[in-house]
Amino acid sequence: MAQDKLWGGRFSQPTDKFVEEFTASIAFDQRMYRYDIQGSIAHARMLAKQSIISAADAEQIISGLEGILADIEAENFDFKVSLEDIHMNIEARLIERIGPVGGKLHTARSRNDQVALDVRLYLRDELQAIAVYLDALQQALLDQAEANLAVIMPGYTHLQTAQPVLFAHHLLAYYEMFRRDAGRLADVAKRLDELPLGAGALAGTTFPIDREYVAEQLGFAGVTRNSLDTVSDRDFAIEFCAAASILMMHLSRLSEELILWSSADFNFVELSDAFCTGSSIMPQKKNPDVPELVRGKTGRVYGNLMSLLTLMKSLPLAYNKDMQEDKEPLFDTIDTVKGSLKIFADMIAKLRVKAENMRTAAARGYSTATDVADYVVRKGLPFRQAHEVVGKTVRYCVETGKDIPELSLAEFQQFSPLIEADIYDFVTLEASVNARRATGGTAREAVEREIRRARQERQAKS
Ligand code: ARG
């Protein structure tokens, strides 16, 4: 052998040093070590069960692998760039530890199906971790909603005051988005749930393996059905990055609102000091760094999705080395989503709500104009005419500097004789909000119903 390579037999010259570095993935794929070892142990057990290797050899291999796992966890393992990736680093170390019998581990297997397995196992665990963080954020939103059920804020369209809504209703809008995100991530986990090992390099293997047995050991629901597809499929990673992109888009929108709301101009909420920084020059400033960064990091998660889609778009079957480039975007997405969710759950839980300011803002901007229109519609006027009546009323308010609830009955009646003294029961903020009682509306009773429902759904899940 011209070098320490496990595949060195065919080669007469060593790899160029820079080429070695350029082609290596050990710097980033070492984070999958646990899954590589877990997969190898299951594989070795199967080889013995099928009498492809002896039980004694399997035992040696397995205890060797367990020793390596302990070494890596104890940070007592020297990852070598010359050994290219995590798979060969571990295999080479195994042979070093237990001798030539270690070389039997790779029977009936290829790095192509091995890496497909490792990435799936890794992502499967990370999906669970992400689900826990996402759940904590949903919990924080529900708690804040419940704690602020009496708080009314302006609801916006076009960022113009539209109609008053409960702050709790606004928070629950995000709860819904994250509920769908959780569903999408659970879907990713479902489709990921097939064992790739056994596909070999691309065509399957000549050894009498038992894939179902390996699947069972590793907790997969089944096995993949086509070896060529198995070693060239990265759909699961792309699907995850797509679901993560949507999730980050939601976090980014919430970030944007928190940034607006915590500005002096809105002044609706205050972020805890723990999530802000000061300015090096302007002493009065408290910058919403965390939501700004989450908004910014959304861009890199989108970028990762684009990287993976572009990486895969023209690859012929089956494995191509290009696919080694799948890991960094995937890992970066996992880290970014986890970090963002973790920090957000805490930030939402510690949000200080400035109820009075929200209420004052909600009362501005003629936010109950639609309620006056609905009122005259109930008295029999077609909605289009009602719209006209209230349009004129608002213009009068603008000209006279009055707000809708401040108009006298005579002033109201200039615009429609249908308006009577009970109009004042409909134009307060509370009346406006609480009139929207149908499922999904902002009335307090409707919002309380949704909080209860969400809590029940969560209880049923856990
Ligand atoms: N490090 C490689 C990757 O991440 C492992 C598979 C290598 N297979 C090969 N035929 N060179 O894709």
- The tens digit of pLDDT for each residue in 62-72 reads 999 999 999 99
CA distance 134 to 146: 19
The per-residue pLDDT for 274 is 85
Contacts of 377 (CB under 8 A, 6+ apart): 383, 386
* Contact present, 359 and 148 (Cβ < 8 Å): no
Q: Read off the pLDDT band of 5 (50, 70, 90).
A: confident
| Tokens linked to 105 | 């581990």
pLDDT at residue 237 greater than cutoff 70: yes
Residue 3 is predicted with a pLDDT of 65
Angle at Cα 386 formed by Cα 384 and Cα 389, nearest 5°?
120
> What confidence tier does 2 reach under pLDDT thresholds 50, 70, 90?
low
**Cα 321 to ligand 1 centroid, rounded to whole Å:** 6
Distance separating alpha carbons of residues 222 and 198, to the nearest angstrom: 12
For residue 461, pLDDT over 90 is answered with: no
Summarize the confidence of residues 252-277 as an average pLDDT: 94
> Cα separation of 75 and 186, whole Å?
33
**pLDDT, mean of residues 254-268:** 97
Q: How far is the CA of 176 from the centre of ligand 1 (A)?
A: 40
Tell me if 324 CB under 6 Å of ligand 1: yes
Decide: 237 and 189 in contact? Cβ < 8 Å: no
Q: Which two tokens stand for residue 209?
A: 């393996």
Fold of 2-107: Fumarase C; Chain B, domain 1 (1.10.275)
In angstroms, the CA 429 to CA 151 distance is: 10
**Which residue is listed with tokens 């109930």?**
378
* Residues facing 154 on adjacent strands: 164
Q: pLDDT tens across 339-395, in order? A: 999 999 999 999 999 999 999 999 988 999 999 999 999 999 999 999 999 999 999
List C-alpha distances in Å: 89 to 64, 93, 162, 228, 415. Answer: 13, 6, 62, 26, 83
Pocket test residue of 111, 312, 330 for ligand 1, highest count of atoms within 8 A of CB: 111
Q: How confident is the model at residue 332 (pLDDT cuts 50, 70, 90)?
A: very high
Q: Ligand 1, atom 11: nearest CA belongs to which residue?
A: 321
pLDDT digits (tens, 9 = 90+) for 24-51: 999 999 999 999 999 999 999 999 999 9
pLDDT at 13: 85
Predicted confidence (pLDDT) per residue in 75-116, tens digit: 999 999 999 999 999 999 999 999 999 999 999 999 999 999
The predicted structure's pLDDT at residue 90: 98
Query: What is the CATH number that goes with domain 112-360?
Result: 1.20.200.10
Does residue 27 or residue 8 have the better pLDDT?
27
**158 an active-site residue?**
yes
Work out which ligand 1 atom sits closest to the CA atom of 201.
Answer: 10
Options 12, 51, 158, 314, the catalytic residue = 158
Give Cβ neighbours of residue 327 (< 8 Å, ≥ 6 apart).
25, 28, 29, 119
For residues 146 and 163, give the distance between their C-alpha atoms in angstroms, rounded to a whole number.
21
Averaged over 434-455, what is the pLDDT? Answer: 97
Q: Model pTM? A: 0.94
Quote the Cα angle for 320-325-329, to 5°: 145
For residues 238 and 316, what is the distance between their CA atoms, to the nearest angstrom? Answer: 17
Cα(24)–Cα(26) distance, rounded to whole angstroms? Answer: 6
The secondary structure element, H or E, covering residue 28 is helix 26-29
Give me the DSSP letters along 92-147.
Answer: HHHHHHH-GGGGGTTTT--HHHHHHHHHHHHHHHHHHHHHHHHHHHHHHHHHHHHH
Q: Report which secondary-structure segment, H or E, holds 352.
A: strand 352-353
The answer, yes or no, to whether the previous bond of 42 is cis (omega within 30 of 0) is no
Are 362 and 152 in contact by the 8 Å Cβ rule? The answer is yes
Q: Radius of gyration over alpha carbons of the chain, in Å?
A: 31
- Superfamily in which the 364-461 domain is placed by CATH: Fumarase/aspartase (C-terminal domain) (1.10.40.30)
Mean pLDDT, to the nearest integer, of 321-331?
A: 98
* pLDDT band of 1, cuts 50, 70, 90: very low
Q: Does 32 contact ligand 1 (Cβ within 6 A)?
A: no
Choose among 423, 93, 47, 331: nearest CA to 208. Answer: 47
Q: Alpha carbon of 300 to those of 134, 241, 364: distances in Å?
A: 19, 11, 38
| Domain ranges for the chain | 2-107, 112-360, 364-461
> What is the pLDDT of the chain when averaged over all its residues?
96
